[in-house]
Structure formats: C-alpha cells, structure tokens
Structure 1
C-alpha cells in the first residue's frame, strides 16, 4: 500500500509530492509524458521586473528535490481508471495497478481546439504544441507562420517563438462559427486583452488601454482599429481580420484571410491569401478532468475557472474521501499558482493521513495564504474574475457537504 499516489508530474504534482515526502509519507508520482515538469517544460518568458522565468529550470529544481526525498517519479505511465474501495483508492495504470491511501489528481489542462477549414493539413498545430516543440524538443516548427486566435496564451507563446528566431508574420482572429464564438468577435477579444495591456511592449498600446475602461470607447476602438493591424514585437495583431481557411495541397501553404465587421462576420470581398508554412491555432485552455469525472466527484461549470471543475475547498480536498485536486484541473492559472496549490494539497494530505502533527495545520494555513498572495501578485490572469470563480467553487464544496448530511 502506498501512502500517496499523485497523477501528474507538473508544478502542482511535484510540489505536493515533495511536501508529503518531507512529512514522512511514501509517495509515488506518475505522468504519461516522458519527462517530469508538465507545462513548466515549455515556459520561457520575461517578467515585468526584467527577470526571466525559465520553466525548465523550475522543473529541474522540483525534480531534484523529489529525488533527494526518495519520491518515486515514473514517467511514460498512463492512468486509465481509478476506483474507490472501502479504505483506499485503486489506481489502474499501463505499468500495473496500485493501492493508495490518498489520491491527488494534478492532471493540468488541455488546449481547446478551434475547427477551421484545412486544420488537418501537415504544418497546422496548437500553439501549445509549437511551444513544446520549440522550447522542449528544440525543433523548429517552420520558417514563417501565422497564429489564429488572439488571447493571453497565444501572445506569450508567440513571443517565445520569436525569441527562438521563428518568424510569425501576423496574429488573426479565427473565422466565425458555432465553436469559435467569442474568440471570433473583435470586441470580446479586445476586452480580454485589455486586462494585460499594461504588459504590452508598445507605449502607445499601454497609454491607449488606460482610456478603454468604458464600453462605448471599446466599441469605438474596435470600429476604428487599424486595417493593417497594430504592431506588437514588430508583428501586426489583427482584430478586424480573420482566417477563413488554411490553404495547402499536401501541407500548409498559407491562409485565406478576410476583413470582418465589428461582430466578426467576414466581408467576403476583402479575401486575401497570406503565405505561410506553419499555422498555430490558439483556442485557450480548459481543465483536464476525465479522471476526476470517473471518480464520482461532483462538478460545477464556472466560466471564471475555464470550464467544468471538480468541487473542492481551499485545502484542495474534494467531497470524496481520500481524493484531492491541485493545479489547472481546479481552474486555469499560472504555473506559480499551481506550485503553491500543490504545496497546499501536500500539507492537507499529510494532515489527514498523519492526524497527529499540529504543526502541519499551521503550515497548511500558511500555504493557503501563499496561494492567495501569488494569485494577487499575478501579472497575467487567463480568465477574468478568478477570485470570484474560486469563491464559487469553495461555496459549492460547502453546499455539497450540507446536501450529504
């Protein structure tokens, strides 16, 4: 019997594992990727204070700590089922079945697909795939490409591609359809990007965003948005142009672009071909919750957290005995927040299994406070009103307990 099994060797999973191991628990971490670190492995960006956040180095530190603490980290292992027994959880993996007293799901997030005609052509990839290929595998994704989808994630990764010497000619909206919805609307996209405009490299954009607090001004700005886009890092970002189709015979050769009206409807007489040898599609992220779903854990849809999330409290406990969650499975936030959440889960699990050390309760509360501090200091939020989303899911946990009584 293993004390704790953690599914996911990303920032949340490794942080939780290290806390549990420090408290004397036997810990096993499994991850289907070939290397521990999760999303950290692809992250490289400059912070507002000029320092660089190097995800590979952060992952290395967490992995080295885990090794020193004798945490069993097994990569290339997939979990295909979990089942709660009377006093333990049974975890079914491609490397055998295991029993554990406590189970932490730190499965992270997945990318939302935006269906666009031609998206199955070789050379089309998600923006996250481009990040992994560039920063993890050191593979050049192409010579000249375009990004479809304007959001916080695509902006950050596009900059990483540029730093790697890859030309990204433009960023466009996706063509409007039943799936793309708000992502194809200029006004909705502008509102989401205004939340991070203070980080823009252009003084003009930073100054302009200051006056965009009112709906009327935002609508006016969309109407008079430059037809040639607004340059960020030397690359035009188009709020009034969308990709209608990805073009190519046996591989990507370019995209068909058209101007759009303020509602995202294409103006067909403006169609134009833009050459490219790769295309990145950026639809955003959603919590990866399949394992939590088969556990019997209740869920709630909360837009501020990125979609359906398992019900849990501040301690990262679910209403199901012995089941915990941490990281982006609980809502889309930064790797820094995920690491702090992992620590909370680690202390929470340790307190529940050991039941004797009062010290752990104090450390748990400190860890919860660190999550809040990290969230408050975050320069980028993937979803607006993240604090409201957290309050909703924590209230749902309390309501679930009342219903069970």
Structure 2
C-alpha cells in the first residue's frame, strides 16, 4: 500500500498537484468558514477524485467523467466558501491540466469556459472586489497548465509511437537477418556441390582410368588417392546437406522484440518444437497478425496478457491468439480486425475471430503448409 501511494504521488503531474492542494488547505486557515465541514469535505473529495484517475485510466469514459464532475464540484465548493480571495481557485488550475490530458482541445475549451464562468458567478455573488480580474488571472494559469499538459501528452505519445516503430524495425530486421543467413547457406551449398563436387567426380573418374592401366593397377598411391577422393566427395555431400538443412526463421525472437515496448498486455509465447517457418512472406504475415492482436488488446480489451500459440499438423500451420480481457457486447470488427482477416486471406489462410469462453478475444488462423513455407525438422 505504501509503495502504491509513493508511486502515485511521484507521478510527474501528481506531486505538484498535491503540493498545490496542501497550499490551498493551509490558506483556508485565514478563511471565515475555515471550520466548515462542507468545506473540508469538498477538499477531501477533490483530492480523492484527483488521485483516483490513475486507477481509471483504462476504464470506460463515463467513470472518468464522473470523477471529473465530482472534482469540479469539489473545487467550486471550496471557491464558494473561500470566495473573498486566496488560493482556492488554484484547484481549478489542477483540474484544467487534468482535463487537457484526456479531452481534445475543443472539448477542453468548452469545459474551461463553463468552469470559469461558474467561478466568476461565485466571486460576483460573494461580493469579491474584482471578480473579472481574479477569474482572468486564474484562467491564465489554467491556460499555461493546459499547454504544458498537452505538450507533455504529445511527447509521451510520440515516444510510445517511436518505441513501437523501433520494435517493428527490430522484429523485421531479425526476420531479414535469418532470411539472409539461409540464403547465404543455400548459396554456399550450391557452390560446393557444383564446383568442388564436380571436380572431385572428374578426379575419381580419372583415377579409375589410371588404376585400370597395368603399370598403375597395383600402385598403393593410386588406390589411396581413389579412397581419399571418394571420402572427400562424401564429406562434401554431407556438408552440402547440412547447409541445406535450415532451422527456419527465428519467429520467437522477432515476436518478443515486437511486444517488448508494450507494457500491457504482456506476451505469452508458445511455439511447438516441430514448427519451422522458412518462407519470409509467411513469417511476415504471422508477425503482423500478432502485432495487430496486441494493439487491439491494448486499446480495447483491457487485457493483462495475450497468449500466442503456434503449432502444426500434417497439412497446416495453426496460430491461436487469445487475451484475458473482456469483450463487452457483440463483437464488432473494425478496421484493425478486418485488415487482419484480409492479411491472413492473402497468405492463403483462413481466420476465425470470436469471443473466447472466458470473455476475451480469440483469433484462430491456419495456413496451408507447402515445401517452401514450413517444414518439419529432421
């Protein structure tokens, strides 16, 4: 509990907000109604609602709206009881900064105008000597805090996008490196087979002709040369076969690199031992399908974990993706899931997208196996 509270308070926006709340609380000592239970109730409600936003980041929008409504009511109530001046309107500066982190500029401007109009009416009714000036001063502070919050959010989003792009590049690079490695192994195998194998075969034929001559038939050197040439040809054939035997593309490394920058949901990856994908196009399709599933689970399903299983049977490669989130209402395929289905179809596969028995999203895809896409290890 202490660790959670410390983590909450040390958030970039939370610590200055808490200090501002404490400053407002101290300033209330000089207020005429400093002992009013309603005043301190409003202060406590504001603080609780402010800190509770961290727990509702991934929840539905109406919960956040309810917290903001209670927070606004608390701040304006404090302003009503401390309407003769003081630091009470500073609570509205905190509130506007919070709203800027959640709502687009047009909504934020409308909310800020309504909140400041309410502040002006409170000051006017309480007989404040300069309600317009006080309102404009704190509106300026609100604008400053909103701009800081907006640019901080933009920087955070840009950082997250950059991390995702970097992970995408790392995953793609891993597949390209494996593909280049296999291509080089195949080239070396062909060179050994075509050049060295051809010349050794010619040498053995010439040694056979030489051994047929009466003068050389019993020469130990000729027989030894024939034996060594035969053994060397067998060794080269073995090396060529070993070079042609590929382990397939390293899907596990590529998929983990893709999921690394996403804090939640985490990736639980299970790849059967007999799965070897050798076709870069199929590997790219698997990579993009998992990427879209992770993005969808992070945005819409409130999932903590996404399980990815890849196995095969005699005729097809199977991919199952399932998260532990909750799909509310009927499953509606948006652009992401529709694009995922289209990508699988382009690779010659088929996909079933449905709600799993535990309420999470489940994607079952299968791809027909060919000699060049996936093989069973020897």
Q: What range describes the TM-score normalised by the shorter chain of this pair?
A: under 0.3
TM-score (norm 2): 0.26
Between Structure 1 and Structure 2, whose CA radius of gyration is higher? 2
Work out which structure has the larger RCO, using CA pairs closer than 8 Å and 6 or more positions apart in sequence.
1
Q: Which of the pair is proportionally richer in helix? A: 2
TM-score (norm 1): 0.24
Q: Which of the pair is proportionally richer in strand? A: 1
